[in-house]
Amino acid sequence: MLIKIPASGECRESEVTTEAAYLSRRQILGGVMLSGAAAGLPALAKASERYPGVTSAPAPKWFADKLASARWQAVVPDGEAITPFADASQYNNFYEFGPNKGDPARHASTLKVEPWSVLIDGEVDQPGRYALEELCSESRLQERIYRLRCVEAWSMVIPWLGFPLADLIRKAQPHSSAKFIRFETAYRSEEMRGTRSGFGLIDWPYIEGLRMDEAMHPLTLLAVGMYGRTLPNQNGAPLRLVVPWKYGFKSIKSIVRISFVREQPITTWQSMAPQEYGFYANVNPKVSHPRWSQARERRLPGSLFSTNLRDTQLFNGYAEQVAGLYSSMDLSKDY
Ligand SMILES: Nc1nc2c(c(=O)[nH]1)N[C@H]1C(S)=C(S)[C@@H](COP(=O)(O)O)O[C@H]1N2
Ligand SMILES: [Mo]
């Protein structure tokens, strides 16, 4: 595992020079050839040049401006292939658009992602409704190539573009009484056909939460893009959470509200099936789901000849960085 964690969204001279360390790794990143900043070239504004085959979606001006100064490959996995964009954008879980893996790609274009604002409330000095571009105004975009491990035992490797959630927390200035953060996805039945009928189990809106130290951890990302472009709607445009050491369901999509709260929030999956899905949801090969083992995972894409099975790693391979957050906890009880 090779990881560099920046202290903040700021650019530091020392980080720029260490990019050279990745040069030798470029060729093993697999399905996608990485170029640009890692090769000492200026950042390319077009996703199709950085990730061949990826379409550059029309991006708002603030995003295009930030892309020009993005820090590419700020965190990379050790020698693992990036999942092709086609898979990452067509095999999704986003129940607001339907229960099947292909539903989000088919139906999420109805979600209006511009303009977008986020309500920040609760125990903070700076509550209010912020335009998305205001929320990221002081942060430099970073590319973080993370493994994503779904609780359903499949996984991908996705190059996100975003900024640390810690940047936003500092901006909001929480009170010491704020112990958790609660996140809420948009709930617009006219734009989200999956919320209208059918998959009636879920009590919308989709809710997730983190403990404050998890939220402040430098690996915790708010993503606004992936594969060098804005997020496709099906991946949670225009703003989603990415917590790489937790099961994918913690990485809540299309966020409209971020609340600083005193009590541990009740999250969507936990409220549906508390014996199966916990608040912490840390990836753990030793703690089985009641209905299946979590010891192995299917890395997408598979092929006709291989399901591409591999061992699941504790904390999804990020144990060195995050195990300390849970040192006093029994991971089989606080699953
Ligand atoms: N609002 C919302 N966020 C969500 C989900 C969802 O159904 N609704 N699904 C989660 C699950 S189960 C996973 S595995 C990831 C999938 O992210 P991806 O489609 O970008 O790979 O999103 C998570 N975020
Ligand atoms: Mo998932």
Q: Where are the domains of the chain?
A: 10-326
Does residue 240 have a known ligand-binding role? yes
Q: Whose CA is nearest to atom 20 of ligand 1?
A: 235
d(C-alpha 233, C-alpha 110), whole Å: 9
Q: Whose CA is nearest to atom 7 of ligand 1?
A: 94
Does residue 235 have a known ligand-binding role? yes
What is the reported pTM?
A: 0.89
β-pairing, 296-299 vs 309-311, is antiparallel
Find out whether 214 and 267 touch, Cβ atoms under 8 Å. no
The two most distant CA atoms of the chain are separated, in Å, by 56
Q: Which tokens belong to 272?
A: 């549906």
Strand segments (E) across the chain: 71-75, 117-122, 128-131, 142-149, 154-164, 180-185, 207-211, 221-226, 229-230, 240-242, 255-261, 296-299, 309-311
CA dihedral 298, 299, 304, 305 (to 10 degrees): -90
Does residue 18 have a known ligand-binding role? no
Which neighbouring-strand residues pair with 160? Answer: 144, 226
Is there an atom of ligand 1 within 6 Å of 155 CB? no
pLDDT tens digits, 140-181 = 999 999 999 999 999 999 999 999 999 999 999 999 999 999
Is there an atom of ligand 1 within 6 Å of 94 CB? yes
pLDDT tens digits, 106-120 = 999 999 999 999 999
pLDDT at position 49, please? 79
pLDDT at position 199, please? 57
Centre of ligand 2 from the C-alpha of residue 297, in Å = 12
Q: Which tokens belong to 282?
A: 């840390």
Is there an atom of ligand 1 within 6 Å of 335 CB? no
| Fold that domain 10-326 belongs to in CATH | Sulfite Oxidase; Chain A, domain 2 (3.90.420)
For residue 46, report the phi and psi dihedrals to the nearest 5 degrees: -100, 125
Residue type at position 311:
D
Find out whether 3 and 77 touch, Cβ atoms under 8 Å. no
Find out whether 104 and 92 touch, Cβ atoms under 8 Å. yes
Is there an atom of ligand 1 within 6 Å of 122 CB? no
Is there an atom of ligand 1 within 6 Å of 253 CB? yes
Give, for 171, the enclosing helix (H) or strand (E). Answer: helix 165-172
Residues of the chain with pLDDT under 70: 1-46, 198-199
Residue 329: DSSP 8-state:
S
